[in-house]
Amino acid sequence: MVGIVFAKLSRPKKRAQTLLFSKNAVICHRDGMPCLLFRVGDMRKSHIIEAHVTAQIIRRKVTKEGEVLPFYQQNMEVSCDGGDDRLMFIWPTIVVHKIDRDSPLYGLSAQDMLKERFEIVVMLEGVVESTGMTTQARSSYLPSEILWGHRFESVVTFKRETGEYEVDYTTFNNTYEVDTPLCSARQLREVKKELNKQNGVTEASSDTDESDTSSVEVSSRKNSLSNGYLRFTPVYANTNEQTNGAAGDTMALPPAIITAGAGAPTVSPGSERKKNFRKLSIKEPSMDSLC
């Protein structure tokens, strides 16, 4: 009987409520690769161990035979800081989905995002450190909840006077605008290939990382043209290597390449309230001072 009562009291019934997902997901570039990002956080002092994240996109699909699948589920590969889906979950972490050729978002532009109907379901699962029981939290993002051309503000700051890191959860959902092409990842790759071709740069292979843009540095001059197109001028790191075309040669690209402009940080409502800090002490490796 005592064991039953203890198990009842130790059940983490509300533990999932302290696991946070950002209100919005964002799309921006990381190391030249378009990525979908969302942020997860934990408000409790006790940690979630063996934490990992999974993501699926649910949408309508029509097969080659004409069969309609109204709720087709497709896995989306996610990682954290270049690793796998495992989290060292002691501070808010940004989860990354690279929009490469295997991504279901590969052919979607910013304009397509406004017309598409899908839902990205994300799940965070782990073991509660204090009880040893498994907990799971879920959230989802609709196309209207994905901000194109945004990036998350940092929530972790270092206080030199105390030697501690502070996590401010009042800015957990804050984002700011960054320059991001409005075209799809597929269109962007085709544009890069065309620019490389015109400038005599041979693509190594189909397996080459799409984020590798070191061969040609492309600077876009946002000229106001009557046809609404944007002119791109290839610019080489070494001007002596220019062999194809003069410096004034330009190539007209579709309007979808126009980038979203950078602006001031977007402040979410309620950020004027008293800050909700969580300190991470660097003096105690055991992290016992986490509060």
The average pLDDT across 160-172 equals 90
Distance CA 152, CA 45 (A): 24
Label residue 88 by pLDDT band (50, 70, 90). confident
The average confidence (pLDDT) of the chain is 74
The average pLDDT across 129-158 equals 92
Residue 200, pLDDT score: 75
DSSP code, position 24: -
Structure-model confidence comparison of residues 79 and 10, the more confident one: 79
Q: Which sign, positive or negative, has the C-alpha torsion 164, 170, 173, 175?
A: negative
Give every CB contact of residue 142 below 8 A, 6+ residues apart in sequence: 118, 119
Label residue 120 by pLDDT band (50, 70, 90). very high
Residue 83, pLDDT score: 73
Distance CA 198, CA 210 (A): 18
Residue 198, pLDDT score: 84
Phi, psi at 186, each rounded to 5°? -65, -45
CA angle 16, 271, 180 (to 5 degrees): 85
Under 8 Å between Cβ of 46 and 128: yes
- Beta partners for 252? 231
How far lies 185's CA from each of 15, 36, 82, 105, 215, in Å? 38, 12, 19, 8, 18
Residue 90, pLDDT score: 85
The average pLDDT across 237-254 equals 41
Report which listed range, 74-78, 222-226, 257-261, 282-286, is most confident: 74-78
CA angle 30, 36, 42 (to 5 degrees): 100
How far lies 210's CA from each of 100, 184, 186, 229, in Å? 8, 13, 10, 24
Q: Is the pLDDT of residue 82 over 50?
A: yes
Q: What is the CA radius of gyration of the chain?
A: 23
Instruction: Give me the residue spans of the domains in the chain.
Output: 2-152, 185-257
The average pLDDT across 246-253 equals 40
DSSP code, position 79: B
Q: List helix spans (H) across 52-109.
A: none
Phi, psi at 255, each rounded to 5°? -60, -20
Distance CA 47, CA 34 (A): 31
Of the listed ranges 107-111, 149-153, 184-188, 278-282, the least confidently predicted one is 278-282
Q: Is the pLDDT of residue 188 over 70?
A: yes
Residue 199, pLDDT score: 82
Under 8 Å between Cβ of 179 and 260: yes
The average pLDDT across 91-115 equals 94
Architecture of domain 2-152: Sandwich (2.60)
